[in-house]
Amino acid sequence: MLMRTAIESAGYTREPILRDIHFELPPGRVLAVIGPNGCGKTTLIRAISGVLPNVQGECHINGTDLLQSDETSRARLLAVVPQSTYIPPAFSVEEVVLMGRTPHLNWLGTLSARDTEIAHEAMRLTDVEGFAGRWCSDLSSGERQRVILARALAQDTPVLMMDEPTSHLDLRYQIEFLEITKNLASQQGKTILIALHDLNLAARFGDTVMAMKDGKVAASGSAADVLVPERIQEIYGLSVEVFQSPGKQGTIILPL
């Protein structure tokens, strides 16, 4: 579904951290949000997901304004993969993934066969089904990150937002994780916003790249437009060289 965001200002106190963030994201597309530490990537995700106290603006998904809706209806439209991989210990992987079904359950939290089915489908996609019965305290942080993705997928929402979801993953799982994400967009038509540190990954997986600096949008467009040496110099204060790799998958950004 189309996600149309227009945030005038957002912050933890009256002093806004974000200003004038406008973007439209069509279904089936991946928006990669990049920018230096503290530029407001996480704040943006928190603002849209309704956990920031002071947000002025709107964010429409399919005609519903997320910032005006209650927790349950918001959670049916939007799932968030947080940066932290904290999972309460003493829960099994399957129990945590089933928590993703929360917005679809009744007040007693009764699970139907369908809920279990959806959770297991999510576990298959993220390759965690093999250790469904294990305690989360026994997992590596990479495994936990995939469990959290599975939980967000079990939420079964048209829009997915992820805050640096690959930070604890090894190279192979980084690529696999983002391939899964890309497929979710292209095959299931999900709308996906993903905050990334790694510019190479942003170039490879973002249909659109939005660069942020000091709580504002510094540049937005295709990877080829945004990820050019002058822009990166401007945003990160770092000289880089940008190559096109001779292989099939585009851009390499090399700090000098």
User: Alpha-carbon torsion 185, 190, 193, 197, what sign?
Assistant: negative
> Minimum Å distance from CB 226 to other proteins?
28
Please state, in angstroms and rounded to a whole number, the distance separating the CA atoms of residues 101 and 115.
7
Per-residue binding letters, 153-192, with other proteins (x by CB under 8 A): --x-------------------------------------
Under rule CB under 8 A, residue 80 binds other proteins: yes
Name the residue nearer to other proteins (CB basis): 102 or 251: 102
Under rule CB under 8 A, residue 15 binds other proteins: no
59: alpha, beta or left, given left = phi > 0 and alpha = psi -120 to 50? beta
> Minimum Å distance from CB 129 to other proteins?
16
Please state, in angstroms and rounded to a whole number, the distance separating the CA atoms of residues 13 and 165.
27
Under rule CB under 8 A, residue 58 binds other proteins: no
Under rule CB under 8 A, residue 86 binds other proteins: yes
Single residue of 16, 35, 40, 50 touching other proteins by CB under 8 A: 50
Under rule CB under 8 A, residue 132 binds other proteins: no
50: alpha, beta or left, given left = phi > 0 and alpha = psi -120 to 50? left
Please state, in angstroms and rounded to a whole number, the distance separating the CA atoms of residues 145 and 126.
10
Please state, in angstroms and rounded to a whole number, the distance separating the CA atoms of residues 70 and 99.
18
> Minimum Å distance from CB 48 to other proteins?
10
Rounded (5°) CA angle 195-85-249: 40
Single residue of 70, 113, 244, 246 touching other proteins by CB under 8 A: 70
Under rule CB under 8 A, residue 113 binds other proteins: no
Name the residue nearer to other proteins (CB basis): 103 or 250: 103
Structure tokens at 211: 């660069």
Under rule CB under 8 A, residue 99 binds other proteins: yes
Total chain residues near other proteins (CB under 8 A): 36
DSSP 198-246: -HHHHHHH-SEEEEEETTEEEEEE-HHHHSSHHHHHHHHS--EEEEE-S
Residues lying near other proteins in the complex (CB under 8 A) are found at: 46, 49-51, 70-72, 74-76, 78-80, 82, 84, 86-92, 95, 99-100, 102-103, 105, 107-109, 111, 133, 135, 137, 155
